[in-house]
């Protein structure tokens, strides 16, 4: 019987070897032993569709490694339509399971046989470090496993592995963000915001435990996003005697007028001796020693559920595309890699290097090398920790610097502006500066609406939307004389301008005015803050992520309304002026069939192609469509025109509905990303101005007239950089208020491919393999 079985396996194997010369096959395995974070389905959808687009045959492996071992119906062909409803769903549609069998050689041999039967030699695994380590072991043993099955097998002697990291803890070294982390932060911040209102009403202290058994990322970013009084994380335990320090900190905050205290605790928090620090322990300490009304809340598995955020959907889609490209380019000598995010760039890193560094973090914590543990977590984590340290546990110095820095908001309001103002004010006070609040933008600067602002004056601002300082679109050229007089009157030494394109244009006008007004010869920095994300010098603007989430969630609801009626196409108009960022990225996040933008001109033929595409789509099981239109994409092809065109051409096949989202995109509480981004931008701007003022101090006064004394602070690829306004002027289309180069335009082909359009995918800028140890300077 065994001989006959071996012969049948050999014949079956040789049969598939013949076809391997013709087809490129790969399977998608979603493996997460402990959780399935939001955003995984977006990664699955992108991987399947791009794989099918390239001509590959794609398989689902249901129930993770257990399905790989069991085979049979657990490994099924994936189709285009099978992933149509996945994008907005949390968890994972193809299932996930812990698998003890895969830990054994016998189990991995069964898994190898199941792949060989289907001619699969490429595996895409979505999971944490344990899952990805298992995948690498499987790849390493592949030839040995085949040899144990069929001695003659030589043609399929290698298995290509690409990993995507799915974990809400963000505990995998090598990537700034893992799939699911941003969605978990959304769940946490929603709860923290709700708790804050009741805590403030009753003057309570709340202690919240968030997930993170071995990694404090969620706790740390939550603390920054809600302005917590204290955070406990496993990577950096508090010093001995922390109990006294904590009580003193809480008392000081109440003494400054605060009506509440928030303490964030990671579930893996420990003290310097390695003993666990629990919510109950902290509660007993605060209530007994200080007599404060104290409550504790353990958030639990609610952090893993819910709808994925826009960021996670886009991240997962980008990672899915990159993983397919990595598999297509892989050779037998290519090491197993993991697709990661570095700043704003997709990168490929050797899987086992990342796993080793992740293990090194655990080792460093066990040996008490906590500073090393923080550094090993990566730049993103280290920057968050340094930001938290600067804003917490520090008293403003008694010695003042005699420097006055004014802050103003300019242009349309957006979520996250207040977070930037708060952090700028507080870090300025910690530097010994006097911080001045300017109300109503350049109007207020001209009319003397300027007043000092203190530590408690910005309390609770992080989570508030809009602009508390007030903002207007006026530019300074109309009242430059008045502005120069007030700069002199209030002895302003530097300016922080937070806002949209008006802030950028206004900053340029102030620089140009230096030739006429000596008072304008002071350092200034522009912090991009606009839903349109149209500021030259920055890949992202504060407020754009919040607007993107608003659009994406609204589109989810709009699409859901057609679940019963079917055969319906929705035309949705987004904000952005002439900038198509919101339309493009929300189209990617919500699974749109098309997104019309100014930067990519279109004509009546393109509209005809889109209509025909939807007519064909209505013949499938997915009988609904979503079309996004940027508000100024075309003066003639208006939202009404496109609605009427689709209605007429789709008559008898589908009907249309029109939605103009309007100013709801500017409202709402800021997302965790915008709170954190705004906080970092505010701090970095003040520290830069402090150094710049020292450079510009001459003969007892400030004099700054060099181009690099007036900059935009922006995110560029992998980090925050300062770029002179004068240099960015050359990269600006002032007529249409957009940069001449926009990084996100390279993502538009992905949007079209995922919508099943036949186009050429530009792979010229696809990621190449890097090394985590060299990138982080961990070895010579």
Does pLDDT of 222 surpass 90? yes
Does pLDDT of 39 surpass 90? no
The per-residue pLDDT for 25 is 60
pLDDT tier, 598 (very low <50, low <70, confident <90, very high otherwise): very high
Strand-pair partners of 694 = none
**What pTM was computed for the model?**
0.90
Query: Where in the chain is CATH 3.40.50.460?
Result: 181-302, 545-666
- Residue ranges for the binding site for beta-D-fructose 2,6-bisphosphate? 473, 530-534, 568, 575-577, 631, 657, 663-666, 737
pLDDT digits (tens, 9 = 90+) for 526-559: 999 999 999 999 999 999 999 999 999 999 999 8
Candidate from 13-17, 80-84, 319-323 with smallest mean pLDDT = 13-17
Provide the 3-class DSSP secondary structure of residue 406. strand
| Mean local confidence (pLDDT), 216-239 | 94
DSSP 123: E
In whole angstroms, what is the distance from residue 303 CA to residue 381 CA?
Answer: 20
240 is a catalytic site residue: no
Q: In percent, how much of the chain has pLDDT > 90?
A: 60
The per-residue pLDDT for 26 is 58
| Mean local confidence (pLDDT), 309-320 | 94
Q: Give yes or no for a contact between 688 and 427, defined as CB atoms under 8 angstroms apart.
A: no
Question: Alpha-carbon torsion 577, 582, 584, 586, what sign?
Answer: negative
CATH architecture classification, 545-666: 3-Layer(aba) Sandwich (3.40)
Choosing from 169, 229, 312, 440, the catalytic residue is: 169
Candidate from 149-158, 188-197, 348-357, 610-619 with smallest mean pLDDT = 149-158
pLDDT tier, 10 (very low <50, low <70, confident <90, very high otherwise): very low
Which residue from 154, 53, 106, 216 is spatially nearest to 750, judged by alpha carbons?
53
Does pLDDT of 374 surpass 80? yes
The per-residue pLDDT for 85 is 80
The per-residue pLDDT for 763 is 58
Residue tagged 């893996």 (tokens): 268
pLDDT tier, 260 (very low <50, low <70, confident <90, very high otherwise): confident
Mean pLDDT, the chain, rounded, equals: 88
pLDDT digits (tens, 9 = 90+) for 731-772: 999 999 999 999 999 999 999 999 999 887 665 556 677 877
CATH architecture classification, 404-542+670-734: 3-Layer(aba) Sandwich (3.40)
The per-residue pLDDT for 654 is 93
Does pLDDT of 264 surpass 80? yes
Burial of 22 from C-beta contacts in 10 A (0-12 / 13-18 / 19+)? exposed
The per-residue pLDDT for 393 is 62
Does pLDDT of 149 surpass 80? no
Annotate 131-157 with b (16+ C-beta within 10 A) or e (fewer): bbbbbbbbbebbbebbeebbeebeebe
| Mean local confidence (pLDDT), 679-691 | 96
| Mean local confidence (pLDDT), 225-239 | 94
The per-residue pLDDT for 15 is 39
- Residue ranges for the binding site for substrate? 167-169, 204, 211-213, 267, 295, 301-304
Query: Would you state the structure tokens that stand for residue 535, as one six-digit string?
Result: 């500021």
Does pLDDT of 103 surpass 80? yes
The per-residue pLDDT for 578 is 97
Q: Give yes or no for a contact between 561 and 581, defined as CB atoms under 8 angstroms apart.
A: no
CATH class for the region spanning 181-302: alpha beta
Does pLDDT of 305 surpass 90? no
Question: Alpha-carbon torsion 647, 652, 653, 656, what sign?
Answer: positive
| Packed helices 417-430 and 672-695: angle between N→C axes, nearest 10 degrees | 40
Candidate from 174-183, 371-380, 410-419, 692-701 with smallest mean pLDDT = 692-701
The per-residue pLDDT for 14 is 39
pLDDT tier, 561 (very low <50, low <70, confident <90, very high otherwise): confident
Burial of 559 from C-beta contacts in 10 A (0-12 / 13-18 / 19+)? buried
Does pLDDT of 512 surpass 70? yes
Which residue from 773, 44, 57, 695 is spatially nearest to 355, judged by alpha carbons?
773
Q: In percent, how much of the chain has pLDDT > 70?
A: 92
pLDDT tier, 22 (very low <50, low <70, confident <90, very high otherwise): very low
Annotate 489-512 with b (16+ C-beta within 10 A) or e (fewer): ebebbbbbbbbbbbbbbbbbbbbb
Query: Where in the chain is CATH 3.40.50.450?
Result: 19-178+308-363, 404-542+670-734
| Mean local confidence (pLDDT), 26-50 | 73
| Mean local confidence (pLDDT), 73-79 | 90
- Residue ranges for the binding site? 98-99, 128-131, 167-169, 204, 211-213, 267, 295, 301-304, 473, 530-534, 568, 575-577, 631, 657, 663-666, 737
pLDDT digits (tens, 9 = 90+) for 184-219: 999 999 999 998 888 777 788 999 999 998 899 999
Does pLDDT of 34 surpass 50? no
The per-residue pLDDT for 150 is 65
Query: Would you state the structure tokens that stand for residue 584, as one six-digit string?
Result: 């493009």
Provide CB contacts within 8 A for 17, sequence distance 6+. Answer: 119, 155, 156
- Residue ranges for the binding site for Mg(2+)? 129
Does pLDDT of 572 surpass 50? yes
User: What's the CATH number of domain 19-178+308-363, 3.40.309.10, 3.40.50.450, 3.50.50.60, 3.90.700.10?
Assistant: 3.40.50.450
pLDDT tier, 395 (very low <50, low <70, confident <90, very high otherwise): confident
Candidate from 385-389, 493-497, 572-576 with smallest mean pLDDT = 385-389
The per-residue pLDDT for 469 is 97
Q: How many CB atoms lie within 10 A of CB 621?
A: 11
The per-residue pLDDT for 773 is 56
């Amino acid at each position: 019987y065994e001989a006959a079985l071996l012969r049948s396996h050999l014949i079956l194997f040789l049969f598939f070897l013949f076809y391997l010369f013709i087809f490129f096959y790969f399977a998608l395995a979603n493996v997460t032993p402990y959780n399935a974070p939001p955003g995984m389905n977006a990664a699955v959808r992108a991987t399947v569709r791009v794989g099918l687009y390239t001509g590959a045959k794609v398989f689902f492996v249901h129930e993770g490694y257990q399905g790989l071992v069991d085979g049979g119906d657990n490994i099924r062909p994936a189709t285009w339509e099978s992933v149509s409803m996945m994008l907005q769903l949390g968890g994972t549609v193809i299932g996930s399971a812990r698998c003890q069998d895969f830990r054994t050689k016998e189990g991995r041999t069964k898994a190898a046989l199941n792949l060989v039967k289907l001619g699969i030699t490429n595996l895409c695994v979505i999971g944490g470090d344990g899952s990805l380590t298992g995948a690498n072991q499987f790849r390493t043993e592949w030839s040995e496993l085949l040899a144990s099955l069929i001695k003659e097998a030589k043609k399929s002697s290698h298995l290509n592995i690409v990993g995507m990291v799915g974990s809400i803890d963000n505990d995998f070294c090598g990537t700034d963000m893992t799939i699911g982390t941003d969605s978990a932060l959304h769940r946490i911040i929603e709860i923290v915001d709700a708790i804050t209102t009741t805590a403030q009403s009753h003057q309570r202290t709340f202690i919240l435990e968030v997930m993170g058994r071995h990694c404090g990322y969620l706790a740390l970013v939550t603390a920054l996003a809600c302005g917590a009084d204290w955070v406990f994380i496993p990577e950096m335990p508090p010093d001995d005697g922390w109990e006294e320090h904590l009580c003193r900190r809480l008392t000081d905050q109440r003494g400054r007028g605060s009506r509440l205290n928030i303490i964030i605790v990671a579930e893996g928090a420990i003290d310097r001796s390695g003993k666990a620090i629990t919510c109950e322990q902290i509660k007993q300490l605060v209530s007994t020693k200080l007599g404060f009304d104290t409550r504790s809340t353990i958030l639990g598995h609610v952090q893993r559920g819910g709808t994925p955020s826009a960021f996670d959907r886009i991240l997962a889609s980008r990672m899915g595309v990159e993983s397919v490209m990595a598999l297509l380019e892989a050779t037998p000598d290519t090491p197993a890699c993991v697709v990661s995010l570095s700043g704003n760039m997709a990168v490929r890193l050797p899987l086992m290097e990342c796993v080793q560094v992740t293990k090194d973090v655990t080792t460093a914590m066990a040996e008490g090398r906590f500073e090393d543990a923080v550094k090993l977590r990566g730049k993103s984590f280290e920057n968050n920790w340094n930001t938290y340290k600067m804003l917490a546990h520090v008293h403003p110095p008694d010695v003042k610097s005699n420097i006055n820095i004014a802050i103003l908001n300019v242009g349309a309001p957006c979520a996250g502006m207040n977070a930037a103002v708060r952090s700028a004010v507080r870090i300025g006070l910690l530097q010994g500066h006097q911080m001045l609040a300017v109300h109503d933008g350049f109007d207020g600067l001209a009319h003397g609406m300027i007043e000092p602002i203190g530590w408690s004056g910005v309390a609770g601002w992080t989570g508030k939307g809009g602009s508390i300082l007030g903002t207007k679109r006026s530019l300074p050229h109309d009242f430059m004389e008045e502005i120069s007089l007030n700069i002199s009157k209030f002895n302003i030494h530097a300016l922080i301008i937070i806002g949209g394109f008006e802030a950028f244009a206004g900053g340029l006008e102030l620089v140009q005015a230096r030739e006429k007004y000596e008072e304008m010869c002071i350092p200034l920095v522009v912090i991009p803050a606009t839903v349109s994300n149209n500021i030259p010098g920055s890949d992202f603007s504060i407020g754009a992520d919040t607007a993107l989430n608003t659009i994406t969630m609204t589109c989810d609801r709009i699409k859901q309304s057609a679940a019963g009626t079917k055969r319906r196409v929705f035309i949705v108009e987004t904000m952005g002026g002439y900038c198509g960022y919101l339309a493009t990225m929300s189209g990617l996040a919500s699974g749109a069939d098309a997104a019309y933008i100014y930067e990519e001109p279109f004509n009546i033929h393109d509209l005809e192609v889109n209509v025909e595409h939807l007519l064909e789509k209505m013949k499938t099981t997915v009988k609904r469509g979503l079309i996004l239109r940027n508000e100024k994409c075309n003066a003639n092809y208006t939202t009404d025109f496109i609605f009427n065109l689709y209605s007429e051409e789709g008559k008898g096949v589908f009907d249309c509905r029109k939605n103009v989202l309007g100013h709801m995109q500017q409202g709402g509480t800021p997302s965790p990303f915008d709170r954190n981004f705004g906080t970092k931008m505010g701090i970095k701007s003040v520290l830069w101005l402090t150094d710049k003022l020292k450079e510009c101090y001459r003969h007892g006064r400030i004099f700054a007239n060099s181009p690099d004394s007036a900059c935009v602070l922006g995110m560029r690829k992998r980090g925050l950089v300062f770029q002179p306004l004068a240099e960015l002027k050359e990269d600006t289309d002032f007529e249409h208020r957009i940069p001449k180069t926009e990084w996100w335009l390279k993502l538009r082909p992905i949007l079209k491919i995922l919508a099943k359009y036949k186009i050429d995918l530009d792979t010229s800028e696809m990621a190449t393999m890097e090394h985590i140890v060299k990138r982080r300077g961990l070895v010579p």
